[in-house]
Structure 1
Amino acid sequence: MAGRIRRKLLAQRIPGASPPALPVCPLCGREVPVAQQDAHHLVPRSQGGRETVILHRICHRQIHALLSESELAREYATPQALLRHPQVQAFVQWVRRKPDDFFERSRKTARLRD
């Protein structure tokens, strides 16, 4: 119920007020448009995680295409740890040059498809 009331209050427009600032993706550093926002559990829910951060949908999907849930829980439970992964670094360098609303499908690595 509280979430519904909060969304209703956020939807109300106050004349002359500036729109709320968009969150910034902790991976790529770009603003995340509302339509591209995904909540990422730093430790997967299946591993007992509760804390989330807002990421670009493309960044979120790429994380899950590269890393298993157990790897995320054990070694990559913070945005800083994720940025130390070489394939995540390469992806972030590539996606930083794209517009904020850019999206492209991600494919799981062969290692995770088996």
Structure 2
Amino acid sequence: MAEPIRLPPQPEVCELCARPVALTRHHLIPKALHDKAYVQKRFVRHQRITATLWVCRACHNQIHRLFSEKELALTYNSRDALLGDERLRTFVEWLASKPPGFTPRH
């Protein structure tokens, strides 16, 4: 029998802005695309399921504001790739200086 797939444990802080706030799981390869051939060719099932980041709601919202699901799957499918985008990096750097209770208005 195959070993069960284990998701990465939840950290204490957002994996992007490092604030100690409530976290949500961001799927680096969007679940809606897991059955697409172009995703299956690039990522094995284990990668598709476990490639996640724990992020705060503000960072999560900004990720989905900036990128389409296809862009997330093909280009922005790692923490480094996400932070390689100047728009997201600038937002994360700005948010990192805010207190845990701060919620940006969009």
Give me the TM-score of the superposition, normalised by structure 1: 0.65
Q: How many residues align?
A: 83
Q: Which residues of 2 match residues 1-114 of structure 1 at below 5 A?
A: 23-31=12-20, 33=21, 36-48=22-34, 49-51=48-50, 52-106=52-106
Deviations 1:45-95 (A, max 9, x none): 012132222101000000000000000000111111100001001101210
User: What is the CA–CA distance in structure 2 between the aligned matches of 1:43 and 1:75, rounded to whole Å?
Assistant: 10
User: What is the CA–CA distance in structure 2 between the aligned matches of 1:63 and 1:26, rounded to whole Å?
Assistant: 13
User: What is the CA–CA distance in structure 1 between the aligned matches of 2:101 and 2:72, rounded to whole Å?
Assistant: 26
Query: RCO higher in 1 or 2 (8 Å CA, sep ≥ 6)?
Result: 2
- Residues 83, 89 of structure 2: 8 Å contact kept: yes
User: What is the CA–CA distance in structure 1 between the aligned matches of 2:105 and 2:29, rounded to whole Å?
Assistant: 23
User: What is the CA–CA distance in structure 2 between the aligned matches of 1:105 and 1:47, rounded to whole Å?
Assistant: 29
88-97 vs 46-55, greater mean Cα deviation = 46-55
- Residues 58, 105 of structure 1: 8 Å contact kept: no
Q: Larger C-alpha radius of gyration, 1 or 2?
A: 1
RMSD, aligned α-carbons: 1.8
